[in-house]
Amino acid sequence: MNYVEEIKNLKREKNAVILAHCYQNIEIDEVADYVGDSLYLSQMAEKTNADIIIFAGVYFMAQTAKILNPNKKVILPNLNAGCEMADMINLQQLREFKRKHPDIPTVCYINSTAEVKSECDICCTSSNAIKIVDSLKAKKVLFLPDRNLGKWVEKQLGNVEVITYNGCCPIHDELDPQGIKETKAKYPRAFVLAHPECKEEFSSQADYVGSTTGIINFVKNSNEKEFIIATEKGVIDRLKRDYPEKEFYSIYDKPSICNNMKLNSLLDIYYALKNETPEINVEPELAKKAIKCINRMLEVSK
């Protein structure tokens, strides 16, 4: 069976749209309508006229799409696709974090559950985190769950204290500063592009720090020919495909892989569309609270 053609046929029949994060397996791009980072996919989810949204990503992404589209059917092809960072904070831990730092605005990374979003002031992604924190015009901000992104934002702005929750993306957090030195020594002409979920001592050595979209756009607009890419393998796969005239390397030549992001397959997407399961639902009262946080982000990001 040609799953690509079958999926395309089912999309037409059912008025479905497929959103795919750029950490997904690259073959999913063949059937995806939109491929990008969390901010872009949130914006596309908000705008879509489709009846069914297939979210090739992880659970919190599909949950966010459902919050934005309460009357549409949102399906996550593989329910096991979670997020270790999002799992690092729950509602009780959030409330305790806020109790320790009262009367300070709370920014939650989009890598968080609907429950957490429901009790934060505004959401952000790595693409817009600086803009979001700056928009609050506060001297102090609580940031969760990613300590690395929060402290990177603090460094970029320089005029706000960002108090971070002690969470992280294990994939980016494990990249060690020595890795840049050794990989750079092997490829001395290569520019280092890193994600802000990396530790500060790592990202401070990079030539450019930005979201997945930021990294892709940097390569697109650069005259350089060699790059060391310090983020998930899916980004490197797409860069190699789209810019075959350029060279791309991983830290230690060992790609960083998010196993959760790799769980969705074309077969999963085919059965998800065919059977319209597994469907993601968010309790309406919870969704009403969480959407305020998301909508505020989307408004600031326009």
User: What pLDDT, on the 0 to 100 scale, is given for residue 302?
Assistant: 83
The secondary structure of the chain as a DSSP string is --HHHHHHHHHHHHTEEEEEETTS-GGGGGT-SEEE-HHHHHHHHHH---SEEEEES-HHHHHHHHHH-TTSEEE-S-TT---TTGGG--HHHHHHHHHHSTT--EEEESSS-HHHHTTSSEEE-TTTHHHHHHHT--SEEEEESBHHHHHHHHHHH-SSEEEE-SB--HHHHT--HHHHHHHHHHSTTPEEEE-TTS-HHHHTTSSEE--HHHHHHHHHH----EEEEESBHHHHHHHHHH-TTSEEE-GGG--B--TTTT---HHHHHHHHHHT-SBP---HHHHHHHHHHHHHHHHHT-
User: What pLDDT, on the 0 to 100 scale, is given for residue 1?
Assistant: 79
Q: In order of start, what are the domains of the chain with their CATH numbers?
A: 3-83+262-281 (3.40.50.10800), 86-168 (3.40.50.10800), 175-253 (3.40.50.10800)
Q: pLDDT tens, position by position, for the chain (302 residues)? A: 799 999 999 999 999 999 999 999 999 999 999 999 988 998 999 899 999 999 999 999 999 999 999 999 999 999 999 999 999 999 999 999 999 999 999 999 999 999 999 999 999 999 999 999 999 999 999 999 999 999 999 999 999 999 999 999 999 999 999 999 999 999 999 999 999 999 999 999 999 999 999 999 999 999 999 999 999 999 999 999 999 999 999 999 999 999 999 999 999 999 999 999 999 999 999 999 999 999 999 999 98
User: What pLDDT, on the 0 to 100 scale, is given for residue 39?
Assistant: 84
